[in-house]
Chain A
Amino acid sequence: MILTLARRGMLAHKRRLVGLTAAIALGVAFLTGTLVLGDTMRASFNEVFATANAGVDAVVQGKTVTDGPRGNEKAAVPADFADELEDVPGVRTIQPTIDGLGQIVGTDDEPIGGNGPPTLAGNWIADPELNPQRIAEGRAPRTRDEIVIDAGSAETGKISVGDRVEVLLPEPEKFTVTGLTKYGEQNSLGGTTYVGMTYAAAEKYLAEKGEVSSIILQAEEGVTPEDLVARVDPLLPRKTEVITGEQLTEQQNQEIQGGFLNFFTLFLVIFAVIAVIVSGFTIYNTFSVITAQKTRESALLRAVGASRGQVLGAVAGESLLIGILASVVGCALGIGVAALLVSLFKSLGAVLDSARLVIEPYALATGFGVGILVTLVAAIFPALRASRVPPLAALRDVASEGRTRMPVRAVVGALLIIVGVVTVSSIAWRPDDPLPRAALGSVAVFVGFVVFGPVAARPTAGVVGLPIAALRGVSGRMARGNAMRNPRRTAATATALMVGVAVVTMFTIFASSVKAAISDNFVGELRAEYVLSTTNFSGAGFDTAMVRKIRSLPPVAAVSTLDPASAIIDGEAQDITVVTVPGLEAVTGLDADLTRDGIAVDTEKAAELDLRLGERVTFEQAGDPATVAKEKRQAKRKARLTATAPPGAVPVEPPEPEPVKVEITALFPKSNLVNGILVPRSLYEGKLDAADKPGIYTLLIKGPPEAQVAAQRIADRYKAGDVLTREEYADEQAGQIDQLLGIIYALLVLAIIIALIGIANTLSLSVFERTRELGLLRAVGQTRPQMRSMVRWESVIIAVFGTIGGIGLGVLLGWALFSAVAETSGLGGTLSVPVGNLVVIAVVGALVGVLAGWRPAARAARLDILDAIANE
């Protein structure tokens, strides 16, 4: 019986049903689509790695060292270990690999790729079991000046087999292209470029002498990969490990998932969650209005003997049915969304062409569960509130509009906002560990805004409505009155938009503040007038010869490099900046008496780590496990060696070398230009055990304008890009942030659309509720355009109210986010509020109102006067 009521209730208002379903379904679709996309990409990568490692039984590789700026870096493997492996029984094939970076220059003299995906280079491995790539055209390289390149790069750079091309390694070298490679049927993989050369050439250009990246092993018949690993393990050189091919695939999967892919998915999920929150507010409000309108119906049910539980049950049942319907639609839409995105990613080469949509049950279950849960929660609260009204009071009471205890709201809301603001403010005077406080403060401010909304709704709508009333005459006056008449509803309607606008504002403010900080740091503190920075941060960086040549140019006063990196100092990972000592002070203005054989620490960092001038600290790149783990491993190795070694043999244990110690030779005042620890490039490159050649990415040049011209000439010879003024450089950095902001805006459009549906829904319900009033207006001479204008302006007032709240909330949230990030990243700087952008946001908010009011306004104008004013 109750279910029948629920079903009838749902079907009786199809239009309302469509609006509700759309709001929930969009949120669910985004969430499901995001999850499916992530799974599909994961599966695609897995397939890539599994194919690549299909013939690999075991691999000897360097252990993972620190998380460098380019992700995980691995230590190198001594090349002569390959010779030792020949003596291991059961080894069929030994294939050393050298992996590095090299950027191909196209026939148009433009370097190819490098804006994200790495520009890979390595020794070409002919064995198809060990190499997922195949030569689609031409032949493998045979001499040191022959290479194969991926077909994608050949297409981009208009390169054909037989052409002479330049490759930046990073020093420019000329090679003859003898063949084009493909990944299965795909021209290239995920936007990467590839150069394959002979082993000798790879050794010369890509590796330190006597080092390789890894050694691939294949086992003889009857020897399992695990056996092979067990036999090789005791012989391993320092900082290397041996794992099976399967483990390698697993490791590669984890690397990409732990890094880019998880970040990417999380990024999307965050926006999906925002969309779900917005749709939650939207449908909560719709249910509130519906419940208010149905109060008398419910009261009648109560009067004829239904219990409170049964009435609630009917509401729960109805919302459950809507939730199920919307979630099913949402999941289906989500799969469609994912399919669209996957095909987009395929066309970008980021997903294998052969990849099929991976729809895991959990993804559907998540979307489905979230959809139903959000719907139920959104429906049950208004129903609970309504069920507290005594049945007879509800039957007698004509006005179905809810009353609020405004003073309580005002106090609680204001308190929450104040507590949130104070919490975030505390970051300024106690900067350590700011993230939890930023998060807590943000939540308090957010909840405070939602609670305070109804209190602010009437006065704000009144003020917003004033110019409209003045300009639009009686339609405007009535629009203003309508927006003010039920502050609780106005606030709830506006909340969804407020959340969307708040997030948009937050990112806008954050981005603008970060840009301002970067610009301040560069333009304000830097003494060098010019910057040469590579666009290919996943490449190998600049040729040191080029840096030398620029430094020796007559007009150039000073040159230094500034490259962020990381190292382990006294056993703890730290962000460092690798610098060249000569010219450092002239270029940066840093007052650091840095010598070539020591490191410099800024005073703040020194205090934090309790370091003193002259102190010697251990300095490692290798992320070796703690000594305890090392000892355990040694013990295990010894035990194994004694077990397998012939009796009488004395196991030879290579001594673990002590970590390098360096002296702190300078302290300097904190600067936002560099990380807290400066390491001279000579020390970093020479004395320390670097995995691969540490690249030079940013070059700072001090000198008159002639220096720019001269340096540009050298840079052109090395295809190193443009020598920019520091202002141009700061603008370029800002441009990158704007790009990211653009993507974020695109993702937030959905949240805004859902909020728009919410306003449209509520207005439609209000129009329905005011049928008689609207009929009267028409009878006494309101024209249809006047009626439309009235409803539309009401929508605009509500939207502007939500937008104002959203901007206010967004400014506070952006401030919280920036405070935390500026503090943790050492970026520094102060909050920058871009008034122009906020005005644009406000205008967009008002436009949302116009759009949301369109359909309700049209419906109101179509209203049949006689139906509206009929007495019976």
Chain B
Amino acid sequence: MTSTSPADTAIQTEGGIVTATDVTKVYGSGETAVRALDGVSVSFLQGRMTAIMGPSGSGKSTLMHCCAGLDTVTSGSIRLGDVELADLSDKQLTLLRRDRIGFIFQAFNLIPTLTAKENIELPLALAGRSADKEWLAQVVDTVGLASRLTHRPSELSGGQQQRVAVARALASKPDVIFADEPTGNLDSRTGAEILQFIRGAVKDFGQTVIMVTHDPVAASYADSVMFLADGRIVDAMPDPTPASVLDRIKAFEK
């Protein structure tokens, strides 16, 4: 808000629950080195849903992986709340993910040998924590899975599987949920349903969600959209609609 340049108007760089500061990520070395992230500074606000968009190779997935503690940064800092991720060991990162972060992936979200219920409780079980029964019931009810809890993933439709994944992400009341193309494998109607659930979690429970997507419709469910290109944040848009997002993308492609 301090800057007057149009591209910077909506880019929050501090004050959020997840804050990346001057993050670079370089794969490889020497001549074959690739700069996936090139000085990214961004802060994601608590209780909001933020979409990250950008063409293939723009670094959006890398940014998400780094913020989620799945990957390490080459330089710069990533903080979750007041925890500096760069200072954590692999073990500490694992525990951080388990206890404070939720994930929804595009595909292969569930463990095939576990039932829906067991999948939902997986992060809690891994932590050896007992589930908050009431909360769990509420989550299950919200995503409409009560009757499918004892089924295995192979007995569920794609949409149902993603709903289980959403429930799992919510179950441990994480500080932030990272969703990586959560509707990429679904038809548009089922995808809309899933996005409604995610949106609902933000609205009703104050859940923080960071979602990587290339689908303008999906992005329109977010409170704001960040645009990445060539490893930099090039723009931000509050209150997106499918049309406005599409227009912006078209503008980039020119």
Contact = CB atoms under 8 A, between A and B. Distances in A.
Contacts of A409: none
Contacts of A779: 68, 70, 97, 103, 105
Nearest to A777: B111
Interface residues of A, number: 24
Contact of B111 (A473, A776, A865): A776
Given A781-B97, A866-B65, A776 B108 contact: yes
Contact of B107 (A474, A780, A783, A871): A871
Interface stretch (A288-296, A475-483, A568-576, A742-750): A475-483
Contacts of B98: 780-783
Interface in A772-808: 772-773, 776-784, 786
A783 B127 CA distance: 9
A589 to B, nearest CB: 65
A485 interface: yes
Nearest to B110: A776
B235 to A, nearest CB: 24
A778 B180 contact: no
Interface in A319-377: none
A841 to B, nearest CB: 29
Contacts of A781: 94-95, 97-99, 123, 126-127
A485 B114 CA distance: 10
A397 to B, nearest CB: 13
B95 A871 contact: no
Contact of B71 (A777, A778, A866): A866
B230 interface: no
B113 A481 contact: yes
Contacts of B106: 871
Contacts, number: 78
Looking at chain B's contact residues, the main secondary structure is mixed
A869 interface: yes
B175 interface: no
Interface string B127-139: 1100000000000
A484 interface: yes
Contacts of B108: 772-773, 776, 869
Interface in B54-112: 61, 65, 68, 70-71, 90-91, 94-95, 97-99, 102-103, 105-112
A482 B114 CA distance: 9
Contact of A783 (B94, B180, B181): B94
Interface residues of B, number: 35
B199 interface: no
Interface string A832-872: 00000000000000000000000000000000011001010
B125 interface: yes
A866 B71 CA distance: 7
B163 interface: no
Contacts of B184: 871
Given A782-B126, A783-B91, A865 B112 contact: no
A473 B128 contact: yes
A461 to B, nearest CB: 11
Given A473-B125, A780-B122, A773 B97 contact: no
Considering residues B111, B118, B123, B181, which has the most beta carbons from chain A within 10 angstroms of its beta carbon?
B111
Contacts of A482: 113
Contacts of B123: 780-781
B114 A481 contact: yes
Identify the 6 closest CB pairs spanning chains A and B, nearest first.
Answer: A781-B98, A481-B113, A474-B125, A772-B108, A781-B97, A781-B123
Interface of A: 473-474, 477-478, 481-482, 484-485, 772-773, 776-784, 786, 865-866, 869, 871
8 contacts: A777-B126, A779-B68, A779-B105, A780-B98, A780-B103, A781-B95, A782-B126, A871-B107
